Copies of this chain bind each other. A is one copy, B any other.
Amino acid sequence: MPEFFNVLPPDEARVLLLHHLGWRLETERLETAKALGRVTAAPILAPHALPDFRRSTMDGYALRAADTFGASESLPAFLLIVGEVAMGQAAEVVLEPGQATIVHTGGMIPATADAVAQIEHTQVVGDPAAALPFEIEVFRPVAVGQNVLQVGEDVLPQSEILPAGHLLRPQDIGGLLALGITGVEVSRRPRVAILATGDEVVTPQEVPRPGQIRDINTYTIAGQVEQAGGIPLLKGIIPDDFSALQTAATSALDDSDMLVMSAGSSVSVRDMSVRVLDGLGEPGVLFHGVATRPGKPTIVGVANGKPLLGLPGNPVSAMIQFAMFGEPAIYHLQGLQNPPRHGLVWAKLSQNIASESGREDYIPVRLADTAEGLLATPIFGKSNLIYTLVHADGLIKVPLNKAGLPAGEMVEVRLF
């Protein structure tokens, strides 16, 4: 048990955890259209160029640019329109010098054309409803390539369109399907076992007797697991008994890729959690104690490559610590290289916040749009109080090296 009895700064603690997670989960093949939010297993190359034919970006006439050089309002170029390229059809018309063809936005450009004159810069000579062929005047010179999307302008053949470890967003799904990539190899979703412990904890369905409380952490953490792309496995409530907890934790971990326990905050219960987590595999508990508030007594470990989290029983601490260690671990297991950046907003702090230097403090805040901009009002309360988070829109961090924040300061609020 490589134990670190000192309390670690949170960034250092996270690095230590991820350092011990040397592997990533197996991959699976999915329909691309169903892979939103999943993580690519390998780099993906473009099988062909996009677009793979030259397309017009305007309604107008595909032509030879040279035929329009010197054209002006007073001295237009005259061109003979000999065809029309229908949408979705090959542009088979062959243009002789002085000839052009009708083309629509997105339509194909004939091989013999090299530019498109926008319809607004032209005029039909004579009857505007005349049948083909008819003559037009072009009032502006058109440059070679103007209003034309070139082959490969979006993607070149064989170029890497997505790296390995990329989280698939709607635009990525669209980009893959545009190239006919209808299947994609992605990491499977991590299965995260969640165990609640505590002689005082009962299910939400039960009516607690005096001294009992309903389980909150199983459900808040399950929501966080889901939002991070994992599959929560609810493993129930275990009494404060070493062997019951050991049996439950061993079985929960066997069945999953990661174990999260939320335990009471009393010293004896916490010691038991440390011993149980440490016995689950190598290297065991990495540290217990993080320099944050709330959440100092967090236990973090690894058992044979699987992350282990022992969260404080207080629901506010549990959520904040899960965001700090659980979420990055779920991303890491999927090989995610570009975890989504947390949305932040800047807001003006409505009142002073005191803190201790040497500790990262997280304070829930409520946001309000005011005439002077966004205002962040701290919600103070013990970390037992889940409703401090229910009433909050986000969290403010008071960094390690600061002893508080003054009213009026602009602060970054992490949406939560």
A interface list, Cβ under 8 A from B: 32-33, 36, 50-53, 55, 57, 59, 85-91, 104-108, 149, 153-155, 161-162, 169-175, 177-182, 198-201, 204-217, 219-224, 226-227, 240, 264-269, 313, 315, 319, 340-346, 367, 381-382, 384-390, 392-393, 415-416
C-alpha gap A415/B91 in the complex (Å): 40
The reply to whether A170 and B224 form a contact with Cβ atoms under 8 Å apart is yes
Select from chain B the residue with minimum beta-carbon distance to A322.
B170
The reply to whether A220 and B173 form a contact with Cβ atoms under 8 Å apart is yes
Q: A392 CB to closest chain B CB, in angstroms? A: 8
A90 surroundings in chain B (CB, below 8 A): 209-211
C-alpha gap A50/B52 in the complex (Å): 63
Known A200-B88, A341-B415, A384-B55; judge A264-B106 contact (CB<8 A).
yes
The reply to whether A319 and B107 form a contact with Cβ atoms under 8 Å apart is no
Closest 7 CB pairs of A and B: A343-B343, A170-B223, A88-B200, A174-B220, A177-B204, A90-B210, A171-B389
Known A108-B211, A177-B219, A178-B204; judge A154-B386 contact (CB<8 A).
yes
The reply to whether B170 and A219 form a contact with Cβ atoms under 8 Å apart is yes
The reply to whether A211 and B266 form a contact with Cβ atoms under 8 Å apart is no
The reply to whether A105 and B266 form a contact with Cβ atoms under 8 Å apart is yes
Q: A150 CB to closest chain B CB, in angstroms? A: 10
Select from chain B the residue with minimum beta-carbon distance to A170.
B223
C-alpha gap A57/B316 in the complex (Å): 14
Q: Which of B107, B172, B198, B222 contacts A88 (CB 8 A)?
A: B198
Select from chain B the residue with minimum beta-carbon distance to A147.
B382
C-alpha gap A86/B266 in the complex (Å): 12
Q: Which of B52, B106, B215, B219 contacts A200 (CB 8 A)?
A: B106
Q: Which of B88, B240, B264 contacts A212 (CB 8 A)?
A: B88
Select from chain B the residue with minimum beta-carbon distance to A212.
B88
The reply to whether B87 and A211 form a contact with Cβ atoms under 8 Å apart is yes
Q: Which of B36, B104, B153 contacts A223 (CB 8 A)?
A: B36
A387 surroundings in chain B (CB, below 8 A): 50, 154-155, 161, 175
Select from chain B the residue with minimum beta-carbon distance to A338.
B393
A36 surroundings in chain B (CB, below 8 A): 223, 226-227
